[in-house]
Amino acid sequence: MHSSFSDQLAGLDLSGFSIGPAPVSTNDFPVHDAVVQTLEAVWSDLFAMVSGTALEADAEDLGWAFVNIFHRSATRKSTAVDRATDEVRALLATADGSEIHTHELETQVERAQCAEGAMIALEEMREVAAALYLNEFGSSWKPVSSSRFNHSAMLTSALVEGREFVRARSEAKRRAAMPEGTPVIFAGGRTRHPNEQDALTFANNVWATLDKVHDRVPDMVLVHGGDTKGVDRLASSWAERRNVPQISFSLDMRLGARAGFKRNERMLSLDPRYVVAFPGNGVLERLVIEAKSRRITVVDRRGPLGTSPKRAAQDTD
């Protein structure tokens, strides 16, 4: 089993993703089917190896780290693209029309394109691994301190002119950070349930509510706080299962007690179509009040087990 696991890792040949000569094309990187088959085999061998051992309790941590291998590699390539793009921008600013200068410009564009192609290939590997993580543990994979961008729809390697590359790179980064669509805010706090059945009912109500909202907003972009220990985790997992783009606004802890309210302002600045509210604290209550004052429709699910408070009151009567 150890030999099989090692062979699969070696087959990924991550060392081959270096900035090299242009042009690059999809044929220069592993094909999607090969990526899926290899990572599925590695994943299966890894968890078969720890199953039934003292490391089984650490399986989720191992799975997270496995996905993070590709995320960190893609992040390093993204940094390389940014550096090369800065060089392109500097060369454009000092263009003198000479043959030497033109050659330097073309070289930097090629370097940026090669790095970008590698970045996109590594992001694809990360997404395949993240899907395996989701299936294994039932929750969406999220990096610790960075964003999970996916530039796969914005490959610019066919471009050869410096100014076009700079513009395309800027647009690609903007679109990756802010997906196109209609924002829908999801908010809720950390909840405790007395038994597994109540927890399951609450989770089902979260998913059912988001499904109904998605039916009304087909181009929905889910906006949430990214809390990996709260109800945000359920919403994030739903979004990944439904292929809905998502944006998380983490708390800026430097703001102290104002952090939650500042996050509310940032999310509401996106002009969302709906605010979906599940049980939470006073910061969430302020979000609901502010949303209503802006005439944003609130889908209120702050009743028992994530139900509508009005329906719960009618049932009591």
Cα 122 from chain centre: 14
pLDDT confidence of residue 206: 95
CATH architecture under which domain 182-310 falls: 3-Layer(aba) Sandwich (3.40)
3-state secondary structure at position 87: helix
pTM across the whole model: 0.57
Higher pLDDT among residues 306 and 6, named by residue = 306
Q: What is the pLDDT of residues 86-98, one digit of tens each?
A: 887 787 777 776 7
Q: What is the pLDDT of residues 192-217, one digit of tens each?
A: 888 999 999 999 999 999 999 999 99
Average pLDDT on 247-256 reads 84
Residues 290, 293, 294: CA angle, nearest 5 degrees: 90
Higher pLDDT among residues 18 and 309, named by residue = 309
pLDDT confidence of residue 157: 32
Percent of the chain with pLDDT over 90: 43
294-to-219, 275, 281, 289 alpha-carbon distances in Å? 22, 11, 21, 9
pLDDT bin (cut points 50, 70, 90) of residue 315 is low
In angstroms, the CA 263 to CA 152 distance is 29
What are the residue boundaries of the structural domains of the chain, listed by start?
22-177, 182-310
In angstroms, the CA 38 to CA 44 distance is 10
CB 5, CB 46: distance < 8 Å: yes
pLDDT at 244 over 80: yes
Q: What is the pLDDT of residues 139-173, one digit of tens each?
A: 888 887 666 776 664 433 332 355 565 666 666 66
Q: What is the pLDDT of residues 22-70, one digit of tens each?
A: 455 556 788 889 999 999 999 999 989 999 999 999 999 999 999 999 9
pLDDT confidence of residue 248: 86
207-to-53, 62, 159, 203, 211 alpha-carbon distances in Å? 34, 27, 42, 6, 6
pLDDT confidence of residue 93: 76
pLDDT confidence of residue 251: 84
Q: What is the pLDDT of residues 232-241, one digit of tens each?
A: 999 999 999 9
| Of the candidate ranges 113-117, 133-137, 189-193, 216-220, the one whose mean pLDDT is the lowest | 113-117
pLDDT confidence of residue 112: 79
